[in-house]
A and B are shown apart, each in its own frame.
Chain A
Amino acid sequence: MMEDYEKRIKLQTALLWVLLILTLAANVVLGVMWDRWFLDPREMTELAQQVQKTAYFGFLIYLIVCIVRNKRLLRERGRMEEKEREEKDERRRFVSGLSERLSAQVFTVLLSLAVFVSSLLDMTAFAVLLATLGGYAALRLLAWLWYSRKY
């Protein structure tokens, strides 16, 4: 049991490293190709630039924190055992399931509202939000079909 969890943590850490390298590489590629693919940064608002930077660096920091946390878990067996027990705890999973269901329902309503409002104001934003809503609906349907076949 514990060995399986250890293997999972090691695999997760390796994937996090790959994701970290890809994120850094994406930054370089985007920097080089920016003029060809995207808006002139001078056309972006201050807020858009700030959000972009925060999202990018926030994601990088999140990945690094996850890697450090996993390394610490692998070093300290007692902590790993505790973490495994917490992750496998059925009540915690039940509570997570309930909160995820509620937030998914609220998210669907808010996204639908955003699609409606953007259709009145901006066609690019409307196209992006509609694609997001469509993708999200397709994902939910696929997940439902997959789980209903599994159970």
Chain B
Amino acid sequence: MKTRIRELRGERKLSQEELARAVGTTRQTITSIEVGKYTASLPLAHKIARYFGRTIEEVFLFDEEKEGNSV
């Protein structure tokens, strides 16, 4: 899944470690989410979005075709 986390971090000059601490996770998890290797759970996605003052849809870009889970 694509995300805008790296871009939003860049705007705030925030390191992965700082974001990880703020949302109660590890730097490795933030890295994996940013590069699209790991999809965050709903609670973590919510925490990240809330931290940046955005909605989940603004931070996490769900590609229905690629994810293969049409509702």
Q: Residues of A at under 8 Å CB distance from B? A: 85-86, 88-92, 94
Contacts and interface: CB of A to CB of B under 8 A. Distances in A.
Interface residues of B, number: 12
Contacts of A90: 25, 29, 40-41, 44
Nearest to B26: A89
Report whether over half of chain A's contact residues are helix, strand or loop; otherwise say mixed.
helix
Nearest to A81: B21
B36 interface: no
B32 A91 contact: yes
**What are the 8 tightest A-B residue pairs by CB atom distance, in nearest-first order?**
A91-B29, A89-B26, A91-B38, A89-B25, A90-B41, A89-B29, A91-B32, A90-B44
Contacts of B38: 91, 94
B55 interface: no
Contacts of B40: 90
Contacts of A89: 25-26, 28-29
12 contacts: A85-B21, A85-B26, A86-B26, A88-B24, A89-B25, A89-B26, A90-B25, A90-B29, A90-B40, A91-B26, A91-B29, A91-B32
Interface string B28-58: 1100100000101100100000000000000
Contacts of A86: 26
Contacts of B26: 85-86, 89, 91-92
Interface in B5-26: 20-21, 24-26
Nearest to B30: A91
A116 to B, nearest CB: 39
A90 B20 CA distance: 12
A92 B20 CA distance: 13
A111 B20 CA distance: 41
Given A85-B21, A94-B38, 18 more contacts: A85-B20, A85-B24, A85-B26, A86-B26, A88-B24, A89-B25, A89-B26, A89-B29, A90-B29, A90-B41, A91-B26, A91-B28, A91-B29, A91-B32, A91-B38, A92-B26, A92-B28, A92-B29
